């Protein structure tokens, strides 16, 4: 666990990923594909990769905790507040579907974020939306997110547990865990899951979000099913990042809308009664011109903050100093092993600071926030 306020902090924040991954900055080391294939040559098909440690040259300068948080607080317009203002339950549900699509972000092939250390946090505010994440387990890796907008009486509760598996020519990561969006003024809770992440090495290297997502609101009986489709074998642009789905009433299975499009471009909604079609999501509007978080109050930044924990590694990768990046990453991991050893020597059990955590016998994790509201953060999205 990282103890807060132990030493002078340095915070290195990097820009959010763009629609094309991050075309403006190339973090990659030379001969990346060959390096990746050599990295996995001794890994058996079906192997669990949750404890697999990547060399620094395969990282981009962010923790997975930051990437998780960015999908909530880095957004071009305030979609969540807009949901709250919709008059009918069907309109709100449709907007929730669009917002859910907005949380899916492009991933750069060949690069991965750091595995968060135990107790690592990420605390950022975007206007009235305050977002707090904590790494509540290291083995297996489990991240908890709590976000609140007190003015709008909105709350988000997410618990993410990735399960990566090596499949020979690709790595498939199932993102387990519960995601909830609560519109307390309307007494509505929206529950949803995440698609899988597919990293392909052969025949054509690439990264895709794939699989089925279900969104439901028990209070209104509305449900949606979305299918994220992988790129075709030939890599045809028509099928790239495609999404299809439907919105229906669970009691009757009556389909209200059909959903079609591409999550990195536009997604349309077809009214099954009138036949009318309209755009409900435009990725360029939502995910363009995203702003890099800035430090508003350095003294208030916790020592457990992601951008502080990994600051030296971040800076080395930005400078493409791979030797320094490897050394700094090893220092972070070595320090955590020492803390773990010290804790075990006195029989101490680590307890999350911001969440109550339970795990069932089946391996299902649940994270509940200790506090009702997330306080404003010392790291903010510029207006």
User: Tens of pLDDT along 19-44?
Assistant: 765 545 555 555 555 555 555 555 65
Average the pLDDT over 265-278 and give the result: 97
Between 14 and 167, the more confident residue is 14
- Look at residue 32 and give its three-state secondary structure: helix
For residue 49, the model assigns a pLDDT of 54
- Confidence category of residue 235, pLDDT binned at 50, 70, 90: low
Instruction: For residues 194 and 211, give the distance between their C-alpha atoms in angstroms, rounded to a whole number.
Output: 9
Reported as half-sphere exposure (CB side, CA atoms, 13 A), residue 251 has a value of 5
Average the pLDDT over 66-95 and give the result: 93
81 vs 57, 183, 263, CA distance in Å? 39, 10, 21
Tell which residue, 172, 126, 160, has the closest CA to residue 376: 126
If you average pLDDT over every residue of the chain, what do you get?
88
- Confidence category of residue 58, pLDDT binned at 50, 70, 90: confident
What is the pTM assigned to this prediction? Answer: 0.89
| pLDDT at residue 377 tops 90 | yes
Alpha-carbon torsion (355, 358, 364, 366), positive or negative = negative
- Confidence category of residue 203, pLDDT binned at 50, 70, 90: confident
For residue 364, the model assigns a pLDDT of 85
Tell which residue, 185, 178, 213, has the closest CA to residue 92: 185
For residue 309, the model assigns a pLDDT of 97
Cβ neighbours of 173 (radius 10 Å): 17
The string over 59-91, giving b where at least 16 C-beta atoms fall within 10 Å of a residue's C-beta and e elsewhere, is bbbbbbbbbbbbbbbbbbeebbeebbebeebee
- Confidence category of residue 170, pLDDT binned at 50, 70, 90: confident
The pair of structure tokens assigned to 178 is 């519960």
Query: pLDDT tens digits, residue range 88-98?
Result: 999 999 999 99
| pLDDT at residue 123 tops 90 | yes
Contacts of 279 (CB under 8 A, 6+ apart): 266, 267, 268, 269
Contacts of 44 (CB under 8 A, 6+ apart): 166
| pLDDT at residue 15 tops 70 | yes
- Confidence category of residue 148, pLDDT binned at 50, 70, 90: very high
Gyration radius of the chain's alpha carbons: 21
For residue 125, the model assigns a pLDDT of 97
Tell which residue, 265, 306, 271, 268, has the closest CA to residue 286: 265
| pLDDT at residue 181 tops 60 | yes
Query: pLDDT tens digits, residue range 277-330?
Result: 999 999 999 988 889 999 999 999 999 999 999 999 999 999 989 899 999 999
DSSP conformational letter for 289: S
Instruction: For residues 291 and 73, give the distance between their C-alpha atoms in angstroms, rounded to a whole number.
Output: 10
Terminal-to-terminal C-alpha distance of the chain = 33
Contacts of 122 (CB under 8 A, 6+ apart): 63, 65, 66, 68, 69, 131, 132, 133, 305, 306, 307
In this prediction, what percent of the chain has a pLDDT beyond 70? 86
């Amino acid at each position: 666990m990282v103890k807060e306020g132990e030493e002078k902090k340095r915070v290195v924040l990097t820009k959010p990923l763009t629609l094309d991954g991050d075309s403006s900055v190339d973090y990659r080391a030379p001969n990346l594909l060959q390096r990746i294939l050599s990295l996995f040559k001794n890994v058996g098909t079906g192997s669990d990769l949750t404890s697999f440690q990547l060399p620094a040259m395969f990282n981009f300068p962010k923790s997975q905790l930051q990437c998780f948080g960015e999908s909530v607080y880095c957004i071009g317009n305030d979609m969540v507040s807009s949901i709250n203002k919709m008059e009918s339950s069907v309109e709100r549900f449709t907007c929730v579907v669009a917002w859910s699509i907005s949380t899916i972000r492009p991933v750069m092939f060949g690069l991965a974020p750091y595995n968060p250390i135990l107790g690592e946090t990420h605390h950022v505010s975007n206007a009235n939306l305050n977002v707090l994440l904590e790494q509540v387990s290291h083995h297996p890796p489990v991240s908890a997110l709590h976000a609140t907008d007190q003015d709008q009486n909105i709350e988000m509760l997410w618990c993410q547990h990735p399960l990566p598996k090596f499949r020979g020519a690709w790595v498939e990561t199932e993102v387990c865990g519960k995601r909830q969006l609560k519109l307390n003024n309307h007494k509505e809770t929206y529950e949803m899951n995440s698609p899988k992440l597919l990293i392909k090495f052969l025949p054509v290297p690439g990264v895709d979000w794939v699989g089925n997502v279900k969104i439901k609101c028990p209070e209104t009986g509305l449900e949606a099913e979305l299918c994220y489709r992988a790129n075709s074998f030939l890599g045809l642009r028509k099928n790239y990042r495609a999404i299809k789905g439907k919105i229906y009433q669970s009691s009757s299975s009556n389909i209200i809308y059909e959903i079609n499009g591409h999550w990195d471009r536009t997604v349309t909604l077809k009214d099954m009664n009138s036949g009318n079609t309209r755009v409900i999501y435009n990725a360029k509007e939502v995910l363009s011109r995203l702003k890099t978080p800035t430090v508003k109050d350095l003294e208030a930044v916790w020592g457990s903050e992601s951008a502080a924990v990994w600051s030296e590694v971040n800076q080395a990768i930005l400078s493409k100093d791979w030797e320094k990046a490897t050394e700094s990453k090893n220092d972070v991991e070595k320090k955590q092993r020492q803390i773990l050893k010290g804790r075990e020597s006195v029989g101490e059990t680590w307890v999350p600071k911001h969440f109550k955590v339970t795990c069932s016998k089946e391996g299902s994790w649940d994270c509940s926030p200790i506090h009702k509201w997330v306080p404003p953060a010392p790291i903010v999205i510029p207006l």
